[in-house]
């Protein structure tokens, strides 16, 4: 398996522009997680899905952020409009289950820079 | 302790040194603790999942122990090598939802 795939790997955009990050989870994994990594807050969970349904979006910072999972093999995280403070590395992860011992497998991340 | 705390924040050691760092977490309502290794420009990789008090896990030169009663876990690296240079993250499971709450990590630099 190729692991979790994310695109793009790097994104530079200007403030106010729409940004879409993409993720393909590991085949057969029912859970998908979106994280954001910043120096100030570390690695924080934004939202997660189970069988394509959003379960907990309490970590989504504000209405400018939205996430979808139209099918089992694809998810998007969209920021509209983007702001400089959204600059961070965004990770997608997937797991086979939601048990306390289920390992989450992380993608390579998308480094977002908003100018 | 309300969240996951890791210390030290960074560590520089010489090749061959053994080292250890700490992960502290709330001892109440403990479900599991995960350790991840995160190399620069790569994605975090799972090292260990620990659930039982007194648990000890080992993978090569890296081992970890768990004390759920006092709320801490230690990660040990024996005979550090330059390829061990990475950020080591621990994360506790929040309730039984599978949500991981990460610490800020300990960044290890091993000098040849």
- Give me Rg for the CA atoms of chain A: 13
**What is the per-residue pLDDT for B2?**
56
* A23 contacts chain B (CB < 8 A): no
Per-residue model confidence (pLDDT) at position B100 = 87
pLDDT at A41: 85
**Among B89, B93, B99, beta carbon nearest to A56:** B99
Residue B60: pLDDT band (50, 70, 90) is very high
For A49, B17, B93, the CA distances from B51, given in Å and listed in that order, are 24, 29, 10
Q: Report how far residue B90's alpha carbon sits from residue B49's, in angstroms, rounded to the nearest whole number.
A: 10
Using one digit for the tens of pLDDT, what is the confidence trace for A64-80? Answer: 999 999 999 999 999 99
Alpha-carbon span B24 to B100, nearest angstrom? 14
Give the closest-approach CA distance of A40 to chain B in angstroms: 9
Copy the structure tokens of residue B104. Answer: 């800020």
Cβ-Cβ contacts under 8 Å between A and B: the total is: 51
Interval A12-63: pLDDT, tens = 999 999 999 999 999 999 999 999 999 888 899 999 999 999 998 999 988 9
Q: Express as a percent the part of chain B with pLDDT over 70.
A: 95
Query: Rounded distance, CA B75 to CA B21, Å?
Result: 6
């Amino acid at each position: 398996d190729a692991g979790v795939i994310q695109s793009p790997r790097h994104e530079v955009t200007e403030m106010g522009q729409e940004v879409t990050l993409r993720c393909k989870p590991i085949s057969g994994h029912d859970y998908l997680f979106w994280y954001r990594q910043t120096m100030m807050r570390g690695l924080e969970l934004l939202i997660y899905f189970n069988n394509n349904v959003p379960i907990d979006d309490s970590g989504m910072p504000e209405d400018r952020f939205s996430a979808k999972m139209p099918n089992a093999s694809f998810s998007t995280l969209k920021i509209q409009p983007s702001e400089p403070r959204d600059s961070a590395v965004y990770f997608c992860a997937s797991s086979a289950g939601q048990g306390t011992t289920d390992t989450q497998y992380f993608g390579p991340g998308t480094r977002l820079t908003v100018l | 302790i309300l969240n996951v705390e890791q210390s030290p924040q960074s560590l520089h050691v010489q090749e061959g040194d053994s080292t250890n760092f700490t992960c502290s977490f709330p001892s109440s309502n403990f479900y599991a603790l995960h350790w991840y290794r995160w190399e620069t420009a790569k994605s975090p990789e799972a090292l260990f999942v620990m659930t039982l008090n007194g648990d000890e896990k080992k993978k090569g030169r890296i081992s970890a122990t768990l004390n759920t009663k006092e709320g801490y876990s230690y990660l040990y690296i024996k005979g550090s090598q330059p390829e061990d240079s990475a950020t080591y993250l621990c994360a506790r499971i929040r309730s039984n939802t599978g949500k991981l709450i990460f610490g800020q990590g300990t960044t290890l630099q091993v000098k040849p």
